[in-house]
Amino acid sequence: MTVKPSGGSSGVNGMTDGGQPGLGDIPTSQIQVFADPPEDPDDPDNAACKKAQDKVKAASKTATRARKNAANAAARLKKAKKSKKAAARRQSTRAGKNAKKAQGALRLARSKARAACD
């Protein structure tokens, strides 16, 4: 819902600063109210947008989890004793790559959602 006053800043109960017309001073006939059009669920554009937004949500969760995994793997690598160092390094490297891929997938999903929802 967008209200477009014809001028001035409105104060409390239409009291204005220095005689500027606020919303309280404008006759209701001059206030234009634009109602946002109701979304039609059957409209294919809206369905595509919703689907794209769902993909963004899923990609976001995946990316968050991947970043956490990478952080944990890096911490494990730091603490690892000599005999476990090589395995920890492999896991950390793999987790970092997964996080990078997940971040790329999230960027792609967001870009597609922007295109579908404009």
List, as one string, the DSSP characters of the chain: -EEE-SSS---GGG--STT---GGGS-GGG-EEEPPPPP-TT-HHHHHHHHHHHHHHHHHHHHHHHHHHHHHHHHHHHH--GGGHHHHHHHHHHHHHHHHHHHHHHHHHHHHHHHHH-
pTM for this one? 0.60
The pLDDT value given to residue 59: 97
pLDDT for the residue 1? 53
pLDDT lower than 50: segments of the chain: none
pLDDT at 112: 94
